[in-house]
Structures are given as C-alpha cells and as structure tokens.
Amino acid sequence: MDLKALHKRHVLTPWVAQAPLDPPMVVRGEGVWLYDQEGRRYLDLSAGLVAVNLGHAHPRMVRAIAEQAGVLAYAAPSLFHDKRALLAKALSDISPWPEGGRVFFTPSGAEANEDALKFVRHLTGRPKVLAAYRSFHGGTHGAAALTGENRRWPAEPAIPGVVHFFAPYPYRSPFYTEDPKEEARRALEHLERVLLHEDPRRVAAIFLEPVVGSNGVILYPEGYLEGVRALCDRHGILLVFDEVMTGFGRVGAAFAAERFGVVPDLITFAKGVTSAYVPLGGVLVREGLARHFDETPLPTGHTYSGHPLAVAAGLAALRTYQEEGIFARVRAMEGFFLEALKDLARHHPLIGDVRGLGAFYALELVRDRETKEPLSPWHGPFSPPMAALLKALLQEGVYLLAKHNILVVAPPLTIAEAEFLEGLERLSRALRRVEVEAL
C-alpha cells in the first residue's frame, strides 16, 4: 500500500495548497530524531511545532500514558479526577502569582485563547480586547479574530470587538527607529493612542505573546512588556500572556512571565505542558480573579476538558522537567545556541538576523542584508527560493518550521550540543544549495 498516496488523497494538511505537497511519511520518533517509512532519519530542529520539549518517545511519558489508559481513559469534566487535581496544583505552584491560581483545561491552545476571551469579558463586563498584528493565537474563529497575521483572513468577518495594534519589531521597526529604547517608547505611545481611541473603559484585556512565536520569535525591547503592564493597571485592563509556545522551559523558565519578571493576569498554555504527547491546553487564572467563579457559573466547557490521558501526560512532563533540571539546562545552553547560530549567519548572506533566547530562535532570511528584502513575502505561498530551501532541508535530513521568510529553530530541550551542531551543519549545506540562485 502506498501510504503517501493514501495520505495525500484523504488528509487535508493545514494552511497550504494540497497539490504540491511531498513531505516524508514519518512513522517513528526517538529523542530529537524522526524516522520515515524507509528508515531515513530527520533531525527535528523545531520540536514539531515548538511543542515536543522532551523529545520523542521519552520513556517516562510513554509509561505514564500507558498506565493511565489501563486505569481510566475518560472521565466527564463535571467529575473530579486525581491527575487533574495534581496537575492543576503543579501548574499553580509554577505560576508567577504568590497566591497561585486555578486552571481551566482545554483540548488545545486555540481553545485556551477562546476561553480566555470569554473569561476576560465576563470578569470585566467590557466588550473589547486588543491584540498585536504580528501574532498567532489559533485557527478557531475566536482565536483567529485575536490573531493579527494573514491566517486571520479566512475567518473574516471575525467576531466583533477585537482591535489590533502594532507591537515592537526591532529588525523591521514599524516605528521608524533603530534604537531599542525609542522603539519601546514609540510602541507604548502608539498602544496608548489606540486605547484612547477605543475607550479604555470598554477594553477588557490585552492579549500578547510575550515572545512572538511563529511570526518571527521577536523579542520585545527592554521596558515594553513592563509598559504594557503599567498601561493595563492604569486603565483596569487585564493582561493575558499567550504562552502556548513560550511555556514549560522554551525560554529557560516555566513561563516567559517568570523570565521577564512581568506578571500577567491570565496565562494560556498548551504544547509543552504534555511535550505534545497528548493534546492539552488551558487557561491559568490568578486566584484573585478565579475566586469570582466560586459563586458564579463558569461560562465555558468542553467534553475533553482535563482528559485523563492528557493530564496524566502533563503531570509526567512537569515532573520530568523538574527532576531532570530541564529549565536550568536550557538557560545554561542559551549562549551556546545563540553563538552557534550567529556563527552560521557569518557564513551565509541569506541570514539577515538571528534572534531569540532559551531554546527559541529565528533566522530571518533576506535577499539583501542592506535593504532587508525578505526572501519570501509576508503573505501568500513561499517564494521559489524559500520553497527550494525547505525541500533541500528535508533532503539533508532536517525538519524546520518555516513561516514567511523565517526559520524557527526551537529543538527539543533535551538536545545534545553535538546533535544541535549536526543540525546546523545540515542546515548550512541546504543554504549553500540555494544561495547561488537566490542572491
């Protein structure tokens, strides 16, 4: 049976035209490697979709899921469940709030953002929310409305009440400056102007990825997140951090809120909470807000909220992160990751910018470093050189997440230095194969 033909005939692949697709048929994973049906292996330099933080087939994760499946594979969300309680307590313990918080579990990050949207409107009685243009919060209708980039367009007309603003992007400043301090100042001035035009008394929350994810792994200039927090406090607006990608060690801490020392009111999460072994997301709500629901019915629910297999996987993942010292390991390796990527850039003129922290980086690809002309456009299909690069990467045995003209380098947090360097050497060979024609 030709499984690739079967897959192409019957499966719809997200976000792309179906006809040109020809990826490998992966059937197995081990550590940082994926294996196709012919036994060829691919270094997973993006941890899937920035999700498989513990690598593939981690024995502790496999064992926890199997054990839970043999005990109880489903329990209605209206019932209490032991692993739900333990995971929620563990998440509260690593939250940025001294008083802790409570968790509403969802099947995915998109649904977590949808439910956070309901929560902030319910808690404040205000109809509007703000989110950044260069952002992705999910593909469902409400999460797509929060999303600022082109994956929002198919969901339009979107739900009402979502207003977008420009956030800092130092490499391509929307505020016409190359000074990071000035970038932060102008961005905060812009945000406050948007708020005033929308009436801050009608704004329930601001949603932000504390590090922009698939749209470029953009780090905000120092002072920006602190300034957003101050604006929210001034106007009684809730601050929601979308930590679907940044959570669970990706930036070298439990959450980016901890890494940057800026405390939001709600955190949405998914991906790394189970190392993507079982779909699970959630909204972590600080206790002072969650207490509201002690006497008021919670305004949302899902059949698979806190699914036993998922929360068992989540509990195993959190214990593994803690007992294996994964978060500290990422912080210790941060300099190695960044210097290795900068060294790669020194040998490849296609790389216009290297940025990131922890184990979360972007290579922004350009035709010309002076003009910063992107190798591929911000919207629409990949340019021929970008498509050729992605094909060359697979031929070299590397999987990398790509968006626009960005390569997202975000390996499993368990990757060894030698494995990372091998991945970069394969990436270097792929870049050389397309640079002659692209430049």
For the cut 90, the answer to whether the pLDDT of residue 209 exceeds it is yes
For the cut 80, the answer to whether the pLDDT of residue 438 exceeds it is no
357-365: average pLDDT: 98
Query: What three-state secondary structure class fits 402?
Result: strand
Q: How confident is the model at residue 436 (pLDDT cuts 50, 70, 90)?
A: confident
CB 91, CB 315: distance < 8 Å? no
Q: In CATH, what number does 3-57+325-438 get?
A: 3.90.1150.10
User: How is residue 143 annotated by DSSP?
Assistant: H
Q: Give the C-alpha separation, 261 to 96, whole Å.
A: 9
Which ranges in 82-179 belong to alpha helices (H)? 82-93, 109-124, 141-146
Q: Give the C-alpha separation, 346 to 5, whole Å.
A: 41
User: pLDDT at position 437, please?
Assistant: 72
187-195: average pLDDT: 98
User: pLDDT at position 439, please?
Assistant: 61
Query: What are 373's strand-pairing partners?
Result: 368
H-helix or E-strand containing 334?
helix 326-346
CB 128, CB 198: distance < 8 Å? yes
Q: What is the pLDDT of residues 298-355, one digit of tens each?
A: 999 999 999 999 999 999 999 999 999 999 999 999 999 999 999 999 999 999 999 9
User: pLDDT at position 310, please?
Assistant: 98
Largest Cα separation within the chain, whole Å, is 66
With a pLDDT cut of 70, the percent of the chain lying above it is 100
202-223: average pLDDT: 98
Q: What is the pLDDT of residues 37-77, one digit of tens each?
A: 999 999 999 999 999 999 999 999 999 999 999 999 999 99
Taking CB atoms within 8 Å and a gap of at least 24, the contacts of 19-28 are 23/394, 24/394, 28/56, 28/57
Structure tokens at 68: 């839970």
Spell out the residues 6+ positions from residue 263 whose beta carbon is closer than 8 angstroms to its own. 96, 97, 229, 257
In terms of Cα–Cα distance, which of 267, 300, 288, 296 is closest to 94?
A: 267
111-128: average pLDDT: 98
109-123: average pLDDT: 98
Question: To the nearest whole number, what is the mean pLDDT of the chain?
Answer: 97
What are the percentages of helix, strand and coil residues in the chain, rounded to 5? 45, 20, 40
User: pLDDT at position 299, please?
Assistant: 95
Burial of 279-288, coded b for 16+ CB within 10 Å and e otherwise, reads bbbbbbbbee
Q: How confident is the model at residue 380 (pLDDT cuts 50, 70, 90)?
A: confident
In the block, residue with structure tokens 């035209």: 17
**Ranges of each domain in the chain:** 3-57+325-438, 63-323
226-239: average pLDDT: 98
Instruction: Report the range of poorest mean pLDDT among 10-14, 185-189, 424-428, 433-437.
Output: 433-437
Q: What is the pLDDT of residues 16-37, one digit of tens each?
A: 999 999 999 999 999 999 999 9
Q: What is the pLDDT of residues 130-175, one digit of tens each?
A: 999 999 999 999 999 999 999 999 999 999 999 999 999 999 999 9
User: pLDDT at position 347, please?
Assistant: 97
CB 187, CB 173: distance < 8 Å? no
Query: What three-state secondary structure class fits 416?
Result: coil
Q: In CATH, what number does 63-323 get?
A: 3.40.640.10
